[in-house]
Structure 1
Amino acid sequence: MIERLRRDAGQAFPIYVVMVAGLLFLVFAFFAVGKAAALRNGAQGAADAAALAAAREARDNFEAGFLASLPEDLLDAYLRAHPVMGCSAAQGLASDNQADVKSCYPIPGGYEDRIKVTVGGRKAVDSSVLPGSKNTKAEATATAVIKFRCSWTSVDLNDDSIRDIFFFTCGKDFLEISPGSPPPWSQVSKILYDVHLVDN
C-alpha cells in the first residue's frame, strides 16, 4: 500500500512541474502584455503633447500674416489661405515623454487647420515570452486642430479704404484690435484661435 502511494506521488510530480511552469509562463505573459500597454499609453501621451505643441507653434506663427492682413481688410483672404508651420516644437515635447517624432505635417483647412504627429517610443517591450518583442517599440499618432473661432466687423474711420479698428466676437469673448497698435499676440491669439486634440 505504501509503495503504491509512492508510485502515485512519483507520477504526480511531473504534472506539478508542468502546472507550475505553465503558471509562471502566464505570469510573465501578463507582465509583458501589461508593459506593452503601458508603453503604448506613454507613446500616446507623447503624441498628444507633441501635436498640441506643434499646433500652438503654428498659431504663434500666424501673427505676422494675420496682423498684416487687417489694414487692407484682407483678413478673410488670409484665413482662407495661409501657411501652416509648426512642427519644430513637436520633438521637444515628444522627447520629454521618452519618444521621438517620426512624422509631423500640417493639413491646411482655412478656418480650421490641423497638424498630425506620429511618434515612436524609445523603450522596447523586450519580453522573452513574446516573440519579436526585443525590438518592438510603441507608436502612436495624434492630431491637433487650430480653429479660428470668431466673427468680426471693421471700421474705416478716415474713409481712406484702410481699416482702423476690428471688432471680434469669439463666443462669450469680445476683442478689439487696432492694426496700427495691435495688442500682444500672446494675449489675443488664445481668444481668436482654439487649439485642441481631435480623433485621427
Structure 2
Amino acid sequence: MAGLLFLAFAYLAVGQAAVNRSGAQTAADAAALAAAQNTRDQLAGQWVAAVLDPTKWQDIFDGNVTYTLSCWRAGQLAAQNDARVQGCTATRPLGYEVHVQTEKSVGDSIVPGTEHTYSKASATAVIESLCKFKLPGEDGVLPELSCRDRNWELDPHDLTDLPGPEDLFDVHLAD
C-alpha cells in the first residue's frame, strides 16, 4: 500500500512539472508572437506612410528599415502568462527569439528541491511578407500589390482601401 501511495505521489510530481513546463512554453510562444506582431504593425505603418513611393516598399517588406524593437511587448505577454522574459533578441529572418521563466515554481512534492525549481522555455516568431509587386514604368502609377489572398489595385488619388498589417505580413512561430 505504501508503495502504491509513493507511486501516486511521484506521478503527481511529474504531472505538476509537466503543467508548469507547458505554462512556460505557452508564455514563451505568446511573448514571441506579441513582439513580432508589434513589429509587423510598425512595418505596416511605414508601408502606409510610403505608399506613394513604391521604391521603398521592398525594403519595408524585407524589414530593412528602422523600427523600434518590441521586446517590451514580449515582457507584457509573458507577465500575463505568469512568467518573465529572461532574454529577447531580434532575429534574421525578421522575427524574435524569446526565453522565459515561470514566476511560480514546480511546487512542493515528494521530489525534494522542486519547490525552488522554475520552468524555462523559449520560442521564435517570424514575420514574413505576404505581398509581391513589380515597379511600374510610369511616374505616379502605383503597382498592383499581390498579396496572399487578394490583389490590391492602388489608386494614388483614393487611398481609402489599403491592406492592413495582417494582409501585408504573416506572423507565426518558427519550427
Q: TM-score range by the shorter chain?
A: 0.7 to 0.9
Task: Tell which has more relative contact order, 1 or 2 (C-alpha 8 A, sep 6+).
Answer: 2
d(CA) in 2 for partners of 1:135, 1:178: 61
CA contact (8 A) 1:149 1:194 kept: yes
- Structural RMSD (CA): 2.5
CA contact (8 A) 2:43 2:60 kept: no
Q: Sequence identity of aligned pairs in percent? A: 37
The alpha-carbon distance between structure 1 residues 92 and 68, as it changes in their structure 2 partners (threshold 3 A), is: same
* Matching residue of 2:126: 145
- Number of aligned residue pairs: 172
CA contact (8 A) 2:54 2:135 kept: no
* Matching residue of 1:165: 142
Structure 1 residue runs without a partner (length 5+): 1-19
**SS of the residue aligned with 1:146?**
strand
The offset of 1:183, in angstroms, is 5.0
The offset of 1:196, in angstroms, is 0.9
d(CA) in 2 for partners of 1:116, 1:60: 18
* Range moving further from structure 2, 76-85 or 131-140: 76-85
* Matching residue of 2:57: 75
User: Aligned letter for 1:165?
Assistant: L
CA contact (8 A) 1:83 1:108 kept: no
* Matching residue of 1:96: 80
Structure 2-normalised TM-score?
A: 0.83
- Bigger proportion of residues as strand: 1
User: Aligned letter for 1:152?
Assistant: F
The offset of 1:156, in angstroms, is 6.1
The offset of 1:34, in angstroms, is 0.3
d(CA) in 1 for partners of 2:7, 2:81: 30
Structure 1-normalised TM-score?
A: 0.74
Q: For 1:1-200, what aligned pairs fall within 5 Å after superposition? A: 20-66=1-47, 67-68=49-50, 71=53, 73-80=55-62, 81-83=64-66, 85-109=69-93, 113-155=94-136, 159=139, 163-177=140-154, 182-183=159-160, 187-199=163-175
d(CA) in 1 for partners of 2:143, 2:78: 38
d(CA) in 2 for partners of 1:129, 1:183: 63
d(CA) in 2 for partners of 1:150, 1:36: 43
**SS of the residue aligned with 1:151?**
coil
d(CA) in 2 for partners of 1:122, 1:47: 13
